[in-house]
Amino acid sequence: MLGLNRKDAMLLMVVVLLTLFAPFLLNPFPEGSSLAQFNAGYPDLMQRFVIFGIFAIGFNILFGLTGYLSFGHAAFLGAGSYAGVWMMKLLTMNVIPAIIVSVVVAGLFSLLIGFISLRRSGIYFSILTLAFAQMSFALAYSVLTPITGGETGLQLSLNDPRILGVSSTGDGSIPVTNLFGLEMRDSFEWEVGAWLFTFNAGYYVCAAVMLVAFYVAIRIFRSPFGMMLRAVKSNQQRMNYTGLNPKPYTLAAFVISGMYAGLAGGLMVSMDPLAGAERMFWTASGEVVLMTILGGAGTLIGPVLGAGLIKYMENIVSKINSTILHEWFAFMPDGIEDLLVTLVYPFIGKGWHLTLGIMFMLVVIFLPGGLVEGGQRIGRLFRRRDRKGTGVEAPAAEQRRKTPAE
């Protein structure tokens, strides 16, 4: 199917089903219940899940395949965002031109930075990319204020000279982003008993783009080009001895990865037409590194899972406060209730970064393959139990420990 083998086709189908039924899967608890605060099926967060999933998928093409660790990918996310907003200010509120221009601008920007940074490898490459990202942040924050809006960010206004649209609507407000007339903020709510499910147009547009990006990533992973990138990661010196120059391959991977970041930036402003310099800050680059490693670097679905986990913690776990904790432990005696709240509170709310840091440390130590390796270990455990129950011995090849697969 679509040029994929059976395994990859099944993986793609799983991702399609997860994105299609996300409004149901992310709202498991009824409205008004004490657990409803853990629901994540509202449009803004669902959009973030898929947008940062695209960002992480692109980063994984560089880091997961070649082993080159970039700490400056947020620069391409920011460049794509600025390009998208300018396209909306000058041309049209249709998101298609904005997304295309975001990808092109990020690709050109990554070509420039990659051409310089890839002259070095290892930690020197990482530091170079970090330096470029911080310089980009500084330029966007101060020097290029007429283009970027400085600390207030670049946003739409009623004076924008929009060529293929109007500068203001009939009621004097700024037009909203749309896809050939379908507004990105349009939503349909379906109430089923105590549950409320929201189907947002913007989310499904982002999800469709993510599915295309995921499919392209699969084809890259399985292509001869992907094999060359793995060869770069495995032993670049041996590759040189064979007469193959790894630089064009690493530069191509860097540019493709940057274009994915630009695509994510274009989708961000398509949902909310505002671009700020903070998207280019080094913490944004570090976040995508965490997403990729937590999910499983070098795997296909791992970065998407890592992006979802971090964004869930950032938007859901961070909102749990001491009042909610007291409600959870209200059935216990007062002394024990206060003790439990005191022990748990540092790890949630504003302390969610501490929980994330502990999770990252545990994954690096015990699950180098990330969440994907964890899922594979659980699957092997159940298969082993099934074989023991039926009296069938596992093949010797399966008894040996395997490395995480895509």
Q: How confident is the model over 349-378, as pLDDT tens digits?
A: 888 999 999 999 999 899 888 999 998 888
Residue 406 has pLDDT above 70, yes or no: no
pLDDT of the residue at 394: 54
Helix (H, G, I), strand (E, B) or coil at 178: strand
Residue 251 structural domain: 6-315
Please give the model's pTM, rounded to 2 decimal places: 0.92
| 364 falls within a domain | no
Render 263-309 in DSSP notation, one character per residue: HHHHHHHHHS-EE-GGGGSHHHHHHHHHHHHHH-TT-SSHHHHHHHH
Residue 296 φ/ψ region, left for φ over 0, alpha for ψ in the -120 to 50 degree band, beta for the rest: left
How far is residue 68's CA from residue 359's CA, in Å, rounded to a whole number? 23
pLDDT (tens digit, 9 = 90+) per residue, 385-396?
777 766 655 555
pLDDT of the residue at 392: 58
The DSSP symbol for 243 reads: T
| 285 falls within a domain | yes
Supply the Cα-derived Rg of the chain in whole angstroms: 23
Report the CATH number that the domain containing residue 108 is assigned in CATH.
Answer: 1.10.3470
How far is residue 343's CA from residue 237's CA, in Å, rounded to a whole number? 51
| 122 falls within a domain | yes
| 357 falls within a domain | no
Residue 404 has pLDDT above 80, yes or no: no
Cα–Cα nearest to 369, from 287, 311, 290, 294: 294
| 363 falls within a domain | no
How far is residue 250's CA from residue 229's CA, in Å, rounded to a whole number? 7
Q: How many domains does the chain divide into?
A: 1
| 120 falls within a domain | yes
pLDDT (tens digit, 9 = 90+) per residue, 37-94?
899 989 999 999 999 999 999 999 999 999 999 999 999 999 999 999 999 999 999 9
How far is residue 262's CA from residue 200's CA, in Å, rounded to a whole number? 23
Q: How many CB atoms lie within 10 A of CB 269?
A: 28
| 288 falls within a domain | yes
